[in-house]
Structure 1
Amino acid sequence: MTANGARVLIIDDELPIRRLLKVALAAYGYELAEASSGQEGLQQAAVLHPDLIILDLGLPDVDGLEVIKRLREWSQAPIIILSVREQESEKIKALDAGADDYVTKPFSMGELLARMRVAWRHAAKTTDEPVLSLGELTIDLAHRLVKMKGREVKLTPIEYEILKNLALHAGRVLTHHHLLRTIWGPEYEEETHYLRVYIGQLRRKIEPDPANPRYIITEPGVGYRLAVKEEGANPC
């Protein structure tokens, strides 16, 4: 990706750093947006769909690691950490959470630009869609909000994780093993009854007719998929 027109979101509570980055990166043709807190950064990311995010870990409201995790629920935009935290353990935590690279303050602009180019080369070529609308069902991944016919649906954390995983791969079949491993852990890969119970609960909350589901479709003996258009299917 070239600099010309690329959108970069800077999430940092230090005004001098934001000013420095905006001036320097704008000179290379980048379009810049900024946020001074984690929550503002998450909101900006959902609205702007940045091509790259520069993130400070030491934010005043939400820890940077949590911001990474929240972003990675729906976005594959490269994330470069810019932080004074230089311990190896902090870098590992950030990278494990989903960051693409880590630059320690103070930094040189040349180094940051090089890291940005590398991150873009390795970025997954996916389209960020934080809001998925399927008929009367709306799933807002950026804000962890599910609505049916415009009304919010209250889900338990596990119910939400199941729906989120299905939404991130809408139209694709996710196997029982994949869902169990992702949500409960590898030691639960054979516990398919866990899924049946929670899928049943989830259907009762989002399906107009849980006995004839339109959204969460069963692929017998394989797993489940989120239909990209309403359809009826085996409810087992």
Structure 2
Amino acid sequence: MISVLYIEDENEIGSWVKKDLTERGYEVTWLQSGEEMEAHLSSADLVILDVMLPGLDGFSLGRRIKKERADLPILMLSARTSVEDKVEGLHFADDYLTKPFHPDELAARLEVLLRRFQKNEDVLVLQHITVHPKEMRIVYNETGEEVQLTGKQYYLFQYFIRHANQILTKEQLYEGVWGERYIEGDKTLMVHIRYLREKIEKDPAHPTIIETIRGLGYRVRI
């Protein structure tokens, strides 16, 4: 999974950018200043950096990032449209996007940067199946046959993978996939997990990919 470090102090834009990129399959760490940046640099595959920040501005942070990790692509975001600002940003950053912008344009620019830096997401092998996240495909390793999932089943499985190795409660899963508050007694989630297991598990009665953690929830281990 591609890990994005996103530094943005505006709550409104930060919230929807994180939500949009997460739904596209990225793992997003959102910080509102550069104070905790150092702790996340080693695990980041790409940085989205706003120019106007409290404390050190984006230009200063960007230069520091490139000094520590020259291999890490940086996309600058800014409401500043002057040529001088763009030129200053592009002295160290790899792309510069002015606000306001469409989420599709941001996603497309990230894809270009990842291709340039050869950070494209690899396939994921989970026991007897292989997941191709970019193509939204799941294949049985032994036969090469593609697993046919409905859109909601795939999104549920994708949510598990984005939160791999974490125990997820019914509430977290329902709110994350359906976008609504979970109501105790609602069987929708359990039905979808049962159908998903029937398609991806060798023995759905004894699942090894989507584990049940008694009294807590579910987990996919990678």
Structure 1 length as normaliser, TM-score? 0.49
For 1:130 and 1:71, how far apart are their aligned partners in 2?
Answer: 18
For 1:162 and 1:110, how far apart are their aligned partners in 2?
Answer: 42
Q: The residue matched to 1:78 in structure 2 has which SS?
A: strand
Aligned to 1:162: 156
- TM-fit CA distance, 1:210: 0.7
Q: The residue matched to 2:130 in structure 1 has which SS?
A: strand
1:1-236 map, 5 Å: 69=21, 72-74=24-26, 76=28, 77-79=46-48, 101-102=77-78, 107=83, 108-113=86-91, 129-149=121-141, 150-188=144-182, 190=184, 192-228=186-222
Render the CA deviation track for 1:111-138: whole Å, top value 9, x for unaligned.
3457779xxxxxxxxx985422112111
The count of residues paired between Structure 1 and Structure 2 equals 143
- TM-fit CA distance, 1:101: 2.8
Render the CA deviation track for 1:43-90: whole Å, top value 9, x for unaligned.
xxx9xx7989xxxxxxxxxxxx9xx74884135533479xxxxxxxxx
Question: What residue ranges of structure 2 are gaps of 5+ in the alignment?
Answer: 6-16, 29-45, 51-74, 96-118
Structure 2 length as normaliser, TM-score? 0.51
**Letter in structure 2 aligned against 1:110:** E
Q: The residue matched to 1:212 in structure 2 has which SS?
A: coil
Q: Is the 8 A contact 1:217 1:224 kept in 2?
A: yes
Q: Is the 8 A contact 1:101 1:115 kept in 2?
A: no
Two-structure CA RMSD over aligned residues (Å): 4.0
CA gap of 1:106–1:180, structure 2 versus 1, over 3 A, is: same
- TM-fit CA distance, 1:227: 2.8
CA gap of 1:155–1:191, structure 2 versus 1, over 3 A, is: farther
Identity %: 30
For 2:76 and 2:163, how far apart are their aligned partners in 1?
Answer: 22
CA gap of 1:79–1:135, structure 2 versus 1, over 3 A, is: same
For 1:194 and 1:105, how far apart are their aligned partners in 2?
Answer: 48
For 2:140 and 2:170, how far apart are their aligned partners in 1?
Answer: 25
For 2:175 and 2:3, how far apart are their aligned partners in 1?
Answer: 30
CA gap of 1:72–1:213, structure 2 versus 1, over 3 A, is: same
Question: What residue ranges of structure 1 are gaps of 5+ in the alignment?
Answer: 1-45, 53-64, 82-98, 118-126, 229-236
Q: Is the 8 A contact 1:173 1:223 kept in 2?
A: yes
